[in-house]
Amino acid sequence: MTRVLDSSEKTARAVAGRRPIRLGPFSGVLRWQPLVALLGGLVVLLAFFVLNLGLGEYQISPVEVLNTLLGGGDRAQQIIVVELRLPRSLTGLLVGAALGLAGAIMQALARNPLASPDMLGITWGAGTAATAVIVLGGTAGSIAGALANYGLPLVALAGGLVTGIAVYVLAYRRGVDSFRLVLVGVGVSALAGNATYWLLTVGDVNDASRALIWLTGSLNARGWEHVIPVAIALVVLIPLTLIGTHVLGALQFDDDTVRGLGVRRDLSRGALLLASVVLASIATAAAGPIQFVALATPQIALRVARTSRPPLLTSAVLGGALVVGSDVISRTAFGGMELPVGIITAVLGAPYLIYLLVRRYREVRA
């Protein structure tokens, strides 16, 4: 991935031995480490994906999986791979990518590793809305089934969007200071989180359990109707945000410098934030608030690619890999019982973040 530095030729040439690449108004410097990180991430992602399609109660070898995907294989393999496992795995892949990308945009914008959709309350907002439907819908009887099957993602999406916009509006005061944004987000997510837990005490214990599974993030029984919205969001928003990286490079400086560089700060910041909120909300609507992905993958990508801010594409790829890899584990590692994928992402992601923290400090010490 190229690292956009500045549009001025002088700065780009100032880094010895690195040739600037130009494309119209955009220019950047080619660095190998981020590119290797991106390609490596893609390989890992594909490996997990194929593995996830093959493993399960009915085992299919990776070669046969590829063959089946290309139209071969017998009828049973076709049904299992293409109709059952493919949509589920694709949902995981796309949701992970969307969460990774959403987190990377937000962390780069706010210059704060804690500014992820989880911390800003967006996934919590989606969670509150969904919990309300699951728990209160249960008491309303027949509405529950219909809403839980079709309405739940929509309700969650609306909850996430409303929360995201509320956070932005509440943090807006002659521009959005990133620090204030994080603080407002902390306030709003605490509000939504408490409302959610209160809702859990209101309903029947069965509904509460169902809601908690959803709140943990689960890929169970996901079909094409979950794949398509996330795919559309990614197809539209990835190119837009990549154009945005041009601005992100400037936005990481303080406000006065940003103004000096001629970037329309609030407009670009608002647009990028909105993109991040939409991505996080749609991902949450499809699979529940899968924990840790939006928070951890940008930080992991940052350290693997050794860039100055979370690299967008690599974060997306690693996010997808984390969720699909976790799904492999959640489906196969616990015998008959299937744990929600969000538990695995957290159990995997957290120690890795700790390891990175420790390692970085060792390096600083040495």
Residues that bind other proteins (CB under 8 A): 113-114, 119, 170-171, 173, 179-180, 182-184, 186-188, 190-191, 193-195, 197-198, 200-201, 205-206, 208-209, 212-213, 215-216, 291-292, 295-296, 299, 337, 339-340, 342-347, 349-351, 353-354, 357-358, 360-362, 364-365
If one counts every other C-beta atom within 10 angstroms of the C-beta of residue 139, the result is 12
In order of 237, 275, 297, the CA distances from 280 in angstroms are: 12, 9, 14
Minimum CB distance to other proteins smaller for 216 or for 281: 216
Tokens read off for 232: 């559309």
Quote the strand ranges of the chain, DSSP E.
20-23, 26-29
| Separation of alpha carbons 168 and 267, rounded Å | 12
Minimum CB distance to other proteins smaller for 49 or for 292: 292
Question: Residue 23's beta-bridge partner residues?
Answer: 26
* CB 350 to other proteins: min, Å: 4
* CB 241 to other proteins: min, Å: 24
* CB 187 to other proteins: min, Å: 4
* CB 295 to other proteins: min, Å: 6
Tokens read off for 61: 């070898």
Minimum CB distance to other proteins smaller for 128 or for 281: 128
Minimum CB distance to other proteins smaller for 86 or for 344: 344
In order of 32, 33, 237, 244, the CA distances from 223 in angstroms are: 38, 36, 22, 32
* CB 16 to other proteins: min, Å: 29
Tokens read off for 221: 């029984």
Minimum CB distance to other proteins smaller for 27 or for 107: 107
| Separation of alpha carbons 263 and 247, rounded Å | 7
